[in-house]
Structure 1
Amino acid sequence: MINANRNILFTATVLAICVILFVHVFLFPLYAVNPNHETLKTFMDFEKSLCSSNYIKQKKVWRKQQCPRYGVVTTMQGGRLGNQMWEYASVWAVARRTGLEPYIPRCIRIKLDQVFDSLTVPTFEEIAHCPVDMSRFVKSLDAWNYTYQSIVLPRYSVQPEIVLTWVQDIIQEFTFKTKLINKSQTILRLVAKNNINQVFVGVHVRRTDYVGYLWRKYSVLPANVSFYYAAMKYYEEKYQNVTFIVVSDDPAWCIKKFNNKNNVFITSKKVPNPPSLDLAILAACNHSIIDYGTFGVWGAILAGGETIFYNISHHSTVRLGQILPNWHTLA
């Protein structure tokens, strides 16, 4: 009887171990690689999986465009305006580099269409009916092996080495809507007071949530007021009639720190501007001073002039400074 019980116990133990091994070896990896593999049948399903917001509505009739013959490039949605501009630009540039077809999730395109006029990358609406094969997707350009693979870039994707290969083209891609151009120009004219020789320097001051992020990510403190003053002094010594247009998520801090300079104009001083208008104002300036964050980076790229940036090792801004010849830090 004792031996029989031992045999039963041994058999049960072996079976339990086999079940555990089967689950871990054969089932868990499938879910770790792609938890929605079985539910993604068409590009409409795939598009929904890329979005962190519920902006997509199913239409009754889809335009029956030809399905992609080779592969596509797309991205996941993450962040706000500056982040989504990088996501869009990364898809646009990687598609140029690879020859794959670019597509942007509508949750990103809807946001950007409110700001820009000339976006050319189509949305998945055009191929929503097409079947999608998730086994052919990779997550980066480095993993792409020039076959029939597609690329889905992660959210917060920043690809300056590729995007800035065609910097003038991406500037044209992000052409502001006429109403934003007109409003930003009106503000600058009012600040200039009809001085046609005025040199405008856009200043982006990022604080609020980024202060804590800088410490967690890089173990560094945010830029103090001496950085901005030193950068302003650089432009004042280089140009006459300089006015600094300060855009910030913390205008109260800026008012307090720059109240002794009569050539500083702070947007959102009384009534907050929408981010799209502040970005258009930065882009309308001649030169730039930026600390960190994708919003200020895009303001400086679109302005196209000289840029002084706050130096944080391993930050994406430093990568831009290595690529663009008119971007530099202060020694």
Structure 2
Amino acid sequence: MVIVRLRGGLGNQMFQYALGKRISEQLNTPLKLDLTTILRVKKKEGFTYRPYQLHIFNVEESYLINPKTIRFFNKLHLHFIVEIIKGIKLLGKKKVKEKTFTVDDNLINSPLNNALYSGYWQSEKYFSDAEASLRLDFSFKESLSPQATNILEKIQQTNSVCVHMRRGDYVQNNYFVPMSSDYFEKASTYINDHIKDPHFFIFSDEPQWCIDNIKMDANFTVVDFETEKIKYKEDLQLMASCQHFIMSASSFSWWAVWLSGVKNKITIAPKQWFADQSIDVSDLVGSDWIRL
């Protein structure tokens, strides 16, 4: 059995699931998802908690502990019971913890069975061998809403460029780097120099800020719409439908690029991914990406 502990937002959860899927296939053993950390929601200044979000995909949802059980005891403020159950289920299991941001080759060549994997695992090297099955797993369960479908039609009719402006917690978080207007200006100039008649589709967790502040000497649309469906799922599906990409330093951006089936696309990413410039992101970024 392979167990992966999920934490963070959708992009992080996808990286964690992808690692587990590849190891489970390599070792021919079941994959279990540990939701005990991600479902324990508590307020902490400067940190944004995300719920379990992989349910938007056709992933293999098999859990270490049933999510209903975790939520039941958490609601009663009896999280220690969840910890006891988890401790029993993890008896005899090894724990593999991510030590650095760079790829651990031993984990690729000689993964451990009967183990819990705890980390972020943000590199395609960890799961490239399982790409075919992951593309099936990461297919969307539901079709787009009528509102999102209207935007998709426009994306498909133009030389579409996905521009992801991650703001929200990035603006005040000392760990990440919110992208400057200078970065997006340089990136859009690069696209204009290499693509005929591009249309920029701007996606953001703060679309109103983009409407109020973004001015571009090009055709652009700030994607802002109401939907009865899951908004982040709709955004990711639309982003992945674009032909070219201007990324933020975000795993959500990363997966939009990966999910895109377009060949020979231009992908622009920031040179600085984290506030701490000593963090080596060479295993995270694509070899053909343009860094600005």
- Distance in 1 between residues matched to 2:171 and 2:267, nearest whole Å: 22
Inter-CA distance 80–145: structure 2 relative to 1 (3 Å threshold): closer
- The amino acid of 2:116's aligned partner reads V
Any idea what SS the aligned residue of 2:7 has?
A: coil
Q: Is the Cα–Cα contact under 8 Å of residues 258 and 264 in structure 1 kept in the other structure?
A: no
- Distance in 2 between residues matched to 1:100 and 1:159, nearest whole Å: 22
What's the TM-score once normalised by structure 2's chain length? 0.69
Query: Aligned residue for 1:64?
Result: none
Higher relative contact order (CA 8 A, sep 6+): 2
Deviations for 1:63-88, whole angstroms, at most 9, x for unmatched residues?
xxxxxxxxx21122312222222221
Root-mean-square deviation (Å): 3.6
Show structure 1 runs of 5+ residues with no match: 1-71
Deviations for 1:187-238, whole angstroms, at most 9, x for unmatched residues?
132x36xx84x1111111112211333xx337xx532112112111222222
Any idea what SS the aligned residue of 2:201 has?
A: strand
Query: Aligned residue for 1:228?
Result: 184
Instruction: Give the drift of 1:296.
Output: 1.3
Structure 1's consecutive aligned runs of 4 or more residues displaced over 6 angstroms after TM superposition are 106-110, 143-148, 269-273
- Distance in 1 between residues matched to 2:280 and 2:149, nearest whole Å: 30
Q: Is the Cα–Cα contact under 8 Å of residues 76 and 152 in structure 1 kept in the other structure?
A: yes
Query: Aligned residue for 1:123?
Result: 63
Instruction: Give the drift of 1:92.
Output: 0.9
- Distance in 1 between residues matched to 2:281 and 2:223, nearest whole Å: 23
Q: Which one of 201, 204, 212 corresponds to residue 248 of structure 1?
A: 204
Q: Is the Cα–Cα contact under 8 Å of residues 288 and 303 in structure 1 kept in the other structure?
A: no
- Does the alignment pair 1:164 with 2:106? no
Instruction: Give the drift of 1:146.
Output: 6.3
- Distance in 2 between residues matched to 1:270 and 1:147, nearest whole Å: 44
- Distance in 2 between residues matched to 1:250 and 1:137, nearest whole Å: 41
Q: Which one of 279, 300, 306 corresponds to residue 266 of structure 2?
A: 306
- Does the alignment pair 1:93 with 2:93? no
Show structure 2 runs of 5+ residues with no match: 39-50, 70-87, 98-103
- Distance in 2 between residues matched to 1:145 and 1:199, nearest whole Å: 41
Instruction: Give the drift of 1:178.
Output: 3.8
Question: Percent identity among equivalent residues?
Answer: 22
Inter-CA distance 133–233: structure 2 relative to 1 (3 Å threshold): closer
Q: Is the Cα–Cα contact under 8 Å of residues 183 and 277 in structure 1 kept in the other structure?
A: no
- Does the alignment pair 1:329 with 2:291? yes
Q: Which one of 140, 143, 150 corresponds to residue 114 of structure 2?
A: 150
Instruction: Give the drift of 1:95.
Output: 2.2
Any idea what SS the aligned residue of 2:191 has?
A: helix
Which has the greater radius of gyration? Answer: 1
How many residues align structurally?
Answer: 245
- The farther-off stretch of 304-313 and 178-187 is 178-187
Inter-CA distance 201–171: structure 2 relative to 1 (3 Å threshold): farther
Trace 1:41-120 onto structure 2 (pairs within 5 A): 72-105=1-34, 111-113=53-55, 115-116=56-57, 118-120=58-60
Query: Aligned residue for 2:175?
Result: 217
Structure that is richer in helix per residue: 1
Trace 1:255-266 onto structure 2 (pairs within 5 A): 255-266=211-222
- The amino acid of 2:289's aligned partner reads W
Any idea what SS the aligned residue of 1:91 has?
A: helix
Inter-CA distance 226–93: structure 2 relative to 1 (3 Å threshold): same
- Distance in 2 between residues matched to 1:139 and 1:84, nearest whole Å: 17
Deviations for 1:221-279, whole angstroms, at most 9, x for unmatched residues?
53211211211122222222311111112223322332344511111267897111111
- The amino acid of 1:286's aligned partner reads Q
Q: Is the Cα–Cα contact under 8 Å of residues 255 and 266 in structure 1 kept in the other structure?
A: yes
